């Protein structure tokens, strides 16, 4: 049985063809995500002292955390998803995404490693960030910064290894731009913006601490 992926010489013995359409795969993911974001937005409106940016960040961290754990986690812990006789929704999703990057069906080592780190470490840490923002924890910014750096390092490894390995893993330019570049770009620009914001907040906290210090030393001397 042949497969639709690139490069054509890729061997996928036992490949079971994709049965769901692109919209049957995208709609549940986008629909569920929208509901989740709406729910977090409404619930966070009842928390005390949260700015609109805090609430937007909570929506993002809930969305990205569940994507890491549920969607990417399924890939990590389901080797051979492409040859399952009765594929579930996630198996179908990864067969669809592989049209934009066949390293997923091929179970490329670097891709699997980045996905494993993302699903196991960054997923739970993203959900912790939702809680940290809601409860104004002192570790809120450094935690968000940590997850953003992990996501950015993961994207770097993901794109550089694709380049070094030949840059020929997509069925057509459409899938290259829509899946490989388009879908992943959200995990480049959003973490970049959040990391920059947290960096600035952290520097501001140290400047405030510095200003405060000579003052309290002065008070001690009185």
- Number of residues near a second copy (by CB under 8 A): 35
Q: Confirm or reject binding of residue 193 to a second copy (CB under 8 A).
A: no
- Would you say 33 or 192 has its CB closer to a second copy? 192
Residue (174 or 199) nearer to a second copy, CB: 199
Q: How far, in Å, CA of 100 to CA of 109, rounded?
A: 17
- Told to check if 141 binds a second copy by CB under 8 A, we report yes
Q: Does 167 bind a second copy (CB under 8 A)?
A: no
How would you class 10 by CB atoms within 10 Å of its CB: exposed for 0-12, middle for 13-18, buried for 19 or more? middle
Structure tokens at 18: 């994709």
- The reply to whether 150 sits near a second copy by the rule CB under 8 A is yes
> 183, 44, 162: which is closest to 103 by C-alpha?
162
Q: Which is nearer to a second copy, 131 or 199 (CB)?
A: 199
CA angle 32, 108, 71 (to 5 degrees): 10
How far apart are the C-alpha atoms of 22 and 169, rounded to whole Å? Answer: 18
Write the interaction track for a second copy spanning residues 80-119; mark x where CB under 8 A is met and - where it is not.
Answer: -----------------------------xx-xxx-xx--
Nearest residue (CB) to a second copy, 13 versus 49: 49
Residues written for the chain = 222
Q: Does 52 bind a second copy (CB under 8 A)?
A: no
Burial of 108 (0-12, 13-18, 19+ CB in 10 A): middle
Q: Which of 23, 86, 138, 219 binds a second copy (CB under 8 A)?
A: 138
Is 37 or 116 the residue whose CB approaches a second copy more closely? 116
Chosen residue from 131, 139, 167, 174 binding a second copy by CB under 8 A? 139
Residue 171 found at the interface with a second copy (CB under 8 A): no
Nearest to 165 by CA among 98, 117, 119, 111: 111
Long-range contacts of 75-80 (CB under 8 A, 24+ apart): 75/104, 75/115, 75/119, 76/112, 76/115, 76/116, 76/119, 76/120, 79/107, 80/14
The answer to whether residue 205 forms part of the interface with a second copy (CB under 8 A) is yes
The answer to whether 30 contacts a second copy (rule: CB under 8 A) is no
- Residue 59 binds a second copy, judged by CB under 8 A: no
Residues that bind a second copy in the complex, under the rule CB under 8 A = 109-110, 112-114, 116-117, 138-142, 145-146, 149-150, 153-154, 156-157, 160-161, 164-165, 199, 202-210, 212
């Amino acid at each position: 049985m042949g497969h639709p992926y690139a490069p054509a010489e890729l061997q996928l013995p036992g490949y079971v063809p994709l049965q769901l359409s692109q919209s049957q795969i995208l709609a549940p993911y986008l629909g569920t995500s929208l509901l989740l974001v709406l729910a977090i937005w409404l619930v966070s409106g009842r928390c005390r002292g949260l700015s609109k940016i805090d609430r937007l960040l909570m929506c993002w961290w809930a969305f990205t955390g569940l994507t890491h754990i549920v969607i990417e986690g399924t890939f990590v812990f389901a080797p051979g998803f492409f040859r399952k006789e009765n594929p579930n929704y996630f198996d179908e999703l990864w067969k669809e995404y592989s049209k934009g990057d066949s390293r997923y069906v091929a179970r490329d080592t670097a891709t699997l490693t980045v996905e494993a780190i993302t699903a196991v470490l960054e997923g739970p840490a993203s959900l912790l960030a939702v809680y940290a923002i809601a409860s104004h924890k002192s570790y809120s910014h450094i935690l968000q910064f940590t997850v953003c750096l992990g996501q950015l390092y993961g994207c770097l490894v993901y794109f550089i290894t694709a380049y070094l390995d030949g840059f020929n893993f997509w069925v057509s330019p459409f899938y290259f731009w829509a899946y490989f570049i388009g879908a992943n770009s959200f995990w480049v620009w959003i973490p970049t913006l959040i990391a920059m914001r947290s960096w600035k907040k952290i520097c501001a906290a140290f400047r405030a601490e510095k200003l405060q210090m000579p003052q309290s030393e002065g008070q001690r001397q009185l």
